[in-house]
Structure 1
Amino acid sequence: MEPSPFRWRDPAAIEPREWLYGHHLIRKYVSATIAPGGVGKSTLTITDAVAMASGKPLLGLKPHGALRVWLWNGEDPRDEIERRVIATCLHHDIDPDEIAGKLFIDSGRQLPIKIGELQNGKITIATPVVDALVEAIRDLGVDVLIIDPFVSVHSLPENDNGAMDAAVKAFALVADRTGCAIDLVHHSRKLNGVDADIDAARGGSAIAGAVRAARVLNVMSGEVAKTFAIAESDRRSYVRVDDAKANLAPPSAARWFKLSGEPLGNATSDRPEDFVAVAEAWTPPDKLEGIGADELLAVQKAVHEQCYREHFKANEWAGHAVGRVLGLNSRADPGQQKIKNAIKAWIASGALVIDTAKDSKGNLRPIIEVGEWADAS
């Protein structure tokens, strides 16, 4: 064995990293998608697969061209996977010809993959399975392999770091030998209301350590839903995607997607049509949407030198004056929340400021006063 000496190369001549889908999937590496159950992992990855096969940014990420994608689902039968892919195509107006020959789907019920197991108490990686994956990926020219979920492709103890490291590295070997990118979809542990992060991946920490990029999914919290005036009954349809680990690229800002139901129109005489969950990109609304400089100036005139209180529970809350100007209900959501958002944004911009004034009992109380006057038309 002889160490290899380092030789300087012109950095401009070095090939850039081969990212295929945002900063999540890169050739020759394994990535992970981590989330609690029922959040929408499979719906997201199916939409990702259709996006990459069609070359279209269905969820805001631009694929690096139209890619060949192999989606393997270890839990659902093939006909259910077909329903979900077709519903995604219908929802996003994808013509079947756009993904023909570029999207491959398989169910673990018909095509089981078992890359690792314990044999006589020893961690064993199934070399024939690794070789078969390499051969299939090469034969089809697959760019991206999605394994959903990771737990379905091994029977190793999840809490054993050595076992998990061996299983992930077996997929890393597949990625390296074929030049494809691999996404392992993995469950988080039970979080009891706490947001998932990279450390929330179920089982040994080696799973998070062995991948080069990871993202986590979290349902919108009740507090965040209030700021966007989204009803409690609807908030679970909104899911945030965060870069949890970005060893090869700067972490990206959080993205959101929304879960919707797409009808298939397949009703029969004795069964209703299927509605299938699909994912669509969602951008948080501007908290000052529909409120311009003219409205701000009217609000400033209404609160100027009136000693309106800063706290929303006060009888003389400034928000009541804002509500009258903007035609919003200041005593109940969603109007009250929009007013709170507007006041907070105006304070941050300096259009309004928090001052103090004495109340009827001579006590100093925080009030809202004009800061920098708006330059309205």
Structure 2
Amino acid sequence: MSLANYRLDVRAALTAPPPNLDYVLPGLLAATVGALVGPGASGKTMLLMQTACDIAAGAPIGGGILTTGFLNGEGAPVVLVFAEESHAVIHHRLQAAIQGMQSMREFKSASACSALAERLSKNLHIYPMGGAARDARWSVGRSQGDAKVMVEACQGARLVVVDPLRRFHAGEENDAAHMSAVVEAFEGIATETGAAVILSHHTNRNSALAGAGELASAARGSSALTDGVRWQANLSAISDQMASRLGILESERASFMRLDIAKANYMSMPPPTVLRRDSTAGTLSIRQSAPTQARKRIPRRTGATYDSESVRGRDAG
């Protein structure tokens, strides 16, 4: 390797405007690696499936939780590798993820639904590998044949999802050197394909017990994972304080989650988004403010009235 290949042309950088940054999701750039962290059974897989459907369709058919403002209307290829799920389970989850399209005006006609199905068939590349997890695992290192196969499968993708990360390496999660190497391996895939790569990962037990699942440090194992990725989103349970502030009954608390962008190297940190989980389908949707909730007028030239929470159901707590 020669460093000369990486040297920045300073004169050009000083005289020409910089290129636009290519965001796949808020704060997540193309050709970089991010992580989605949360407890087991918290909805990580479903959220990733819904996000993938949005990007593949070019429309918020999965709810637009992470994709609003980042869809091109034409759709783009997405690769999802699920190491723990069977074809039957993913079949159910895929149908659940696109249920929201039924209420969208642009997909009311049979021809529009047919065109959408064709677009999803073309752009969604889903590999459920439940029962064959050993085929998904490779030793960390760019020369490994399995990693090469992964790169080939992901060529041209806008987004690559790996779920869960633990099934894709055989090393020690608490070893900083090994986890740095894991991140580097996926950085290689991101660089070679141009795709954003999201690694699904679990929270550590201490963070879950302490009610600190929204923090970047909540990721299980060595902090080298969080240090190495450029973006991290966290799914976690809402606290008693947040539930009380939002008027959520104790009997309904288990149906709500908070989604935080816990780390973002290329954007300012946004407030959390409160999500509601469907008890039957398992899909996640942005919590809407209750109609009876007190409203607060914010002085603006237009005189518009807004909810005291943001329109995306976010709460800064």
Q: Structure 2-normalised TM-score?
A: 0.78
State the secondary structure of the residue aligned to 1:230. Answer: coil
Instruction: Pick one of 89, 97, 101 that aligns with 2:122.
Output: 101
Show the 5 A alignment for 1:40-79.
Answer: 40-57=43-60, 58-60=63-65, 61-62=67-68, 63-65=70-72, 66-79=75-88
Q: Distance in 2 between matches of 1:250 and 1:41?
A: 23
* Structure 2 counterparts to residues 73-152 of structure 1, below 5 A: 73-93=82-102, 95=113, 96-109=117-130, 110=132, 112-116=135-139, 127-138=144-155, 141-152=156-167
Note closer, same or farther for the CA distance 1:287–1:29 as it changes in structure 2 (3 Å cut).
Answer: farther
Match runs of 1:180-191 below 5 Å: 180-190=195-205, 191=208
Q: Secondary structure at the match of 2:282?
A: strand
For 1:5 and 1:27, locate their aligned partners in 2 and report how far apart those are by CA, in whole Å. 20
Quote the Cα distance in structure 1 between the aligned partners of 2:227 and 2:285. 30
Residue 22 of structure 1 deviates from its aligned partner by: 2.1
Q: Distance in 1 between matches of 2:291 and 2:222?
A: 40
Q: Which residue of 2 aligns with 1:20?
A: 24
Structure 2 vs 1, CA of residues 238 and 2 (structure 1 numbering), >3 Å: closer, same or farther?
closer
Contact kept, 8 Å, 2:35 with 2:232, in 1: the verdict is: yes
Counterpart position of 1:281 = 286
Matched, 1:167 2:188: no
Distance, in Å, in 2 between the alignment partners of 1:288 and 1:225 is: 14
Decide whether the 8 Å contact of 2:56 with 2:124 is kept in 1.
yes
Instruction: Could you tell me which runs of 5 or more consecutive residues in structure 2 were left unpaired when the two chains were aligned.
Output: 108-112, 298-307, 309-317
In structure 1, the residue corresponding to 2:85 is in which secondary structure? Answer: coil
Shift of 1:11: 6.8
Q: 1:31 to 1:11 in 2, by over 3 A?
A: farther
How far apart are residue 12 of structure 1 and its match? Answer: 5.6
SS in 2 for 1:13: coil
Amino acid at match of 2:71: H
Tell me: CA distance 1:212–1:15, structure 2 relative to 1, closer, same or farther (3 Å): same
In 2, are the aligned partners of 1:74 and 1:108 still within 8 Å (CA)?
A: yes
Q: Decide which structure has greater helix share.
A: 2
User: Closer, same or farther in 2 for the Cα pair 1:229/1:5, shift >3 Å?
Assistant: closer
* 1:257 counterpart SS class: strand
DSSP-derived class of the 2:56 partner: helix
Deviation at 1:287, TM superposition (A): 7.8
Equivalent position amino acid for 2:85 in 1: D
Q: Secondary structure at the match of 1:248?
A: coil
Does the CA-based 8 Å contact 2:31-2:194 persist in structure 1? yes
Opposite residue 132 of structure 1, the aligned amino acid is: V
Equivalent position of 2:232 in the other structure: 214
**CA deviation after TM superposition for structure 1 residue 70, in Å:** 1.0
Question: How many pairs are equivalent?
Answer: 271
Tell me which of the two structures has the higher relative contact order, counting C-alpha pairs closer than 8 angstroms and 6 or more residues apart.
2
Bigger drift between 171-180 and 278-287 goes to: 278-287
Query: TM-score if structure 1 supplies the norm length?
Result: 0.66
Map 1:280-359; keep pairs closer than 5 Å. Answer: 280-285=285-290, 288-289=293-294
Residue-by-residue CA offset, 1:230-273 (whole Å, 9 max, x unaligned): 11121121111111111111112211221114xxxxxxxxxxxx
User: After superposition, where does 1:27-42 map in structure 2 within 5 Å?
Assistant: 27-42=30-45
For 2:45 and 2:15, how far apart are their aligned partners in 1?
39
Deviation track 1:184-240 (CA, whole Å, cap 9, x = no partner) reads 010011121422111111111110011001111111122221222211121121111
Which digits, 9 at most, give the CA deviation of each residue in 1:78-134, with x for residues without a partner? 1101100111112442743442211111122357321326xxxxxx66621221111
- Say which SS state the counterpart of residue 147 (structure 2) adopts: helix
For 2:55, give the aligned amino acid. Answer: M
Q: Secondary structure at the match of 1:106?
A: strand
Does the CA-based 8 Å contact 1:116-1:126 persist in structure 2? no
Q: In structure 2, how many angstroms separate the alpha carbons of the residues matched to 1:286 and 1:195?
A: 30
Cα distance between partner residues in 1 of 2:287 and 2:19: 34
